[in-house]
Amino acid sequence: MDWGTELWDQYDIIEKHTQSGLELVEKYVKFVKERTEIEQNYAKQLRNLSKKYNPKRSGKDEPECRLSSYQSFVDILNEMNDYAGQRELIAENMMMNICIDLTKYLQELKQERKTYLLDAKKAQQSLESTYKQLDSSKKRFEREWREAERAAQYAEKTDQDINATKADVEKAKQQAHMRAHVAEECKNDYAAQLQKYNKEKNQFYFSDMPLIFNKLQDLDERRVRKVAQGYILFSDTEKHVMPIIGKCLEGITKAGTNVDEKNDSLIVIEQNKSGFERPGDVEFEDYSQGINRASSDSSLGTPKGPMDLLGKNRNKNFWLFSKKSKKFTPDRIMPTVTEDFAHLPPEQRRKRLQQKLEDICKELQKEVDQSEALGKMKDVYEKNPQMGDPASLAPQINQTSQNIERLRGELNKYETWVAEAGVRGDTLRYKSHTFNNNGAHDLLSPDGAHSDESTPDTSQAIYAEFDDDFEDEELTAPIGKCTAMYSFPGASEGTISMQEGEVLSVVEEDKGDGWTRVRRSNGDEGYIPTSYVTVSINK
């Protein structure tokens, strides 16, 4: 069933229905826009909430940050931030896939509907114009026919009049004949206009308007189908992010299960244990023996108790709970932070000193490695001047030597403080073999030249440590291949010679010092300049 057949006479109803359908689409688009605004505001509020309760960068080093309950709360805030991102994604997808798409489609429908209604009006106007011509020809025919009848009656009356002359009778007959001819022409014109109107009328009601109504029906059905897809997208858009939202909620649940109250208690102990002994009993002071005690402190005087160990604070009670005062006093000034952490309780001081010592050792190891690398590079430049100027390395060598000396001074200083703090057992062996032997920095003078104070053959001292590594370690699996672009003599100990075009196995990548460790098929290993080869690492 179609509108052109069933609703051929309901133009106004069809026009009103299609307009109402377009208004429904507009209403739905506005509804989705308001929904996206709600989602965006919700996401914004969630992000602000997460940001508000998230720790600042300056507060991330606070002791409580290590607690599992605190870390889980941070994880929850991060998950809420991700959840807010998914709400923003819902708003964005709804705006793109529903609002913008439907708005564009709605404009196309409006233009198409306007065209069809304009065609209908043109057809209506054409039919009305034909009808006006028909009506005009009909009225003319009616008027001329009456005139012809009157002329015929006048001619007949004149012919019967005995007083009328022959000329008058002839003239009346001619006038009647002319009027009859004109009336006949008007009749023929009226008949032609009537035929034309009936033809256009049939064309209007059986062809033109049904076609336009059917087009409007197709437009309306497409509009209904499109808005139905928009309804489905409204749900699918949120369903699409549900798995990710579910993961966010699972992350929040996991954060709750990750809280370990026992471990938190251990962390609190580790962070705050002072190492002090509990205060002993307060000694009895016998004022009745004051005279004798003045003459002989050892006769009747009581032995010194824990309060005597407090020095100038001996008259102050050692309270477990500190008394808080709202009024600011000098006693409430925080202790000055010192380099040796003496302001901390013994246990905390030991831990901080050990941590600081480990950091210095790591930094010193990096500088020693850098010094060794510069020494090897300088040796290669001296033997192969085309690769570079050895003097260009002098500033870097000087700086590295100064850094090593500075770090060694700090290392000795902190080792002394660690010893004073009474670290129990062999907690760390801070002076490694690399630092205690005649390392690379001992072999280089401040101006970058080799020193003669260490060993006769400086190159052997530089690469002795690498030889020890080769002897002690088992053969490691190659991690790639390399092809020599130039020949390399490998005269220094620890290096290996190669010929141009030779293919070697890569055992260890360049760590930034300009050298790559390789192996021949016969098992010989050594270092070669990285710039001399093209390296291909296995993936």
Determine which of 40-49, 67-76, 142-151, 470-479 has the lowest per-residue pLDDT on average. Answer: 470-479
Collapsing DSSP states into helix, strand and coil, what is residue 387? helix
In a shared domain, residues 415 and 485: no
Question: How far is Cα 424 from Cα 371, in angstroms, rounded to an integer?
Answer: 34
Contact 467, 495 (CB under 8 A): no
Which tokens in the block code for residue 101?
């798409």
Domain final residue pick, 264, 294, 326: 264
In a shared domain, residues 209 and 130: yes
Residue 503 lies in a domain: yes
In a shared domain, residues 402 and 485: no
In a shared domain, residues 146 and 243: yes
Q: What is the mean pLDDT of the chain?
A: 80
Domain final residue pick, 264, 280, 303: 264
In a shared domain, residues 417 and 484: no
User: For 509-537, what is each residue's pLDDT tens digit?
Assistant: 888 777 889 999 888 888 888 888 899 98
Question: How far is Cα 200 from Cα 365, in angstroms, rounded to an integer?
Answer: 103
CATH number where 158 lies = 1.20.1270.60
Residue 278 lies in a domain: no
In a shared domain, residues 370 and 487: no
Which pLDDT value is given to residue 8? Answer: 87
In a shared domain, residues 221 and 151: yes
536: β partners: 481
Using pLDDT thresholds of 50, 70 and 90, give the confidence band for residue 379: confident
In a shared domain, residues 175 and 251: yes
User: For 153-199, what is each residue's pLDDT tens digit?
Assistant: 888 888 888 887 888 888 888 988 998 999 999 999 999 999 999 99
CATH number where 369 lies = 1.10.287
The distance of Cα 471 from the centroid of its chain, to the nearest Å, equals 50
In a shared domain, residues 104 and 246: yes
CATH number where 499 lies = 2.30.30.40
In a shared domain, residues 164 and 20: yes
| Tokens 């028909």 sit on residue | 134
**φ, ψ at 231 (rounded to 5°):** -60, -45
Q: What is the side-by-side strand order in the sheet with 503-508?
A: 525-529, 515-519, 503-508, 480-484, 533-537
Residue 279 lies in a domain: no
Residue 407 lies in a domain: yes
Residue 333 lies in a domain: no
Residue 331 lies in a domain: no
In a shared domain, residues 351 and 233: no
In a shared domain, residues 27 and 117: yes
Question: How far is Cα 99 from Cα 95, in angstroms, rounded to an integer?
Answer: 5
Q: How many domains does the chain have?
A: 3
Tell me how far CA of residue 251 lies from CA of 43, 67, 243, in angstroms: 18, 18, 12
Which pLDDT value is given to residue 329? Answer: 43
- Give the best-scoring range by mean pLDDT among 8-12, 86-90, 268-272, 387-391: 86-90
User: For 456-508, what is each residue's pLDDT tens digit?
Assistant: 343 333 344 444 444 444 577 889 999 998 888 887 777 888 998 999 999 98
DSSP state of 523: S
User: For 398-426, what is each residue's pLDDT tens digit?
Assistant: 999 999 988 988 888 888 887 777 654 33
- Give the best-scoring range by mean pLDDT among 2-6, 105-109, 164-168: 105-109
Provide CB contacts within 8 A for 77, sequence distance 6+: 50, 53, 54
Q: Which domain holds residue 407?
A: 346-421
Domain final residue pick, 421, 437, 459: 421
User: For 277-319, what is each residue's pLDDT tens digit?
Assistant: 788 888 888 777 654 444 444 444 444 444 443 443 444 455 5
Which tokens in the block code for residue 394?
């002098």
Residue 439 lies in a domain: no
Question: How far is Cα 98 from Cα 91, in angstroms, rounded to an integer?
Answer: 10
